[in-house]
Amino acid sequence: MFKLHPRLQNDTMMLGRLPLCRVLLMNDAHYPWLILVPERPHLREIHELGEADQEQLWRESAFVARQLQQGLEADKMNIAALGNVVDQLHIHHIARYIDDVAWPAAVFGRADAVPYTAAYLDALLPRLRELLCATQDPRLKMHWRPALKTPTTPSARRRGKPASQAKPDSPATPAG
């Protein structure tokens, strides 16, 4: 039986499901950062998936990356399946901007996470839903989770800029 790793459960919000993967939003307003987790039990590596699931994973990963890059006007997409801290198979999809807090380095361990505010999520989630549900391909049909628990920790963010660089009185709106 599939069970989400406790660290992923703690650090993310579930957006919904693609045919193979659970789609999670990393709770870090520094970057638009989605994580795909194949809903198969006891997986650590991509090669442990069957051939059909491997093909579906690449299809879903390419779709998510394309939608994020084009829809959020990312300068670069970082896609990684590391598993050094969380051994459950999961693939990071991080929209990067040349002015983000970690550019050009990798995001891992560069800056403390800045949790999303409810106001920012109110602006971001409809945009992500629009992007991730924008397909007629049944192999990529997104089942959006209608309700998310929104954090109340204060932060503000504009396209690619963490809260520390955003004007305090500016509205926190996502790119797109």
CATH of the domain at 17: 3.30.428.10
pLDDT band at residue 145 using 50, 70 and 90 as cut-offs: confident
pLDDT (tens digit per residue) in 147-162: 565 544 433 333 443 3
pLDDT (tens digit per residue) in 67-119: 999 999 999 999 999 999 999 999 999 999 999 999 999 999 899 999 999 99
User: What is the number of other CB atoms lying within 10 angstroms of the CB of residue 104?
Assistant: 9
DSSP 166: S
In a domain, 176, yes or no: no
Tally of domains in the chain: 1
> In 3D, which of 21, 158, 37, 173 has the Cα closest to residue 101?
158
pLDDT (tens digit per residue) in 20-77: 999 999 999 999 999 999 999 999 999 999 999 999 999 999 999 999 999 999 999 9
pLDDT at 148: 60
pLDDT (tens digit per residue) in 117-139: 999 999 999 999 999 999 999 99
In a domain, 21, yes or no: yes
- Say what angle helices 51-71 and 118-132 make with each other, to 10 degrees: 120
- CA dihedral for 148, 134, 35, 16, sign (positive or negative): positive
pLDDT at 147: 58
In a domain, 62, yes or no: yes
Please indicate whether residue 171 or residue 148 has the higher confidence score (pLDDT): 148
In a domain, 19, yes or no: yes
In a domain, 35, yes or no: yes
In a domain, 142, yes or no: yes
pLDDT at residue 15 above 60?
Answer: yes
pLDDT at residue 3 above 80?
Answer: yes
- Domain of residue 157 covers 6-165
* Assigned token pair, 130: 């629009």
In a domain, 170, yes or no: no
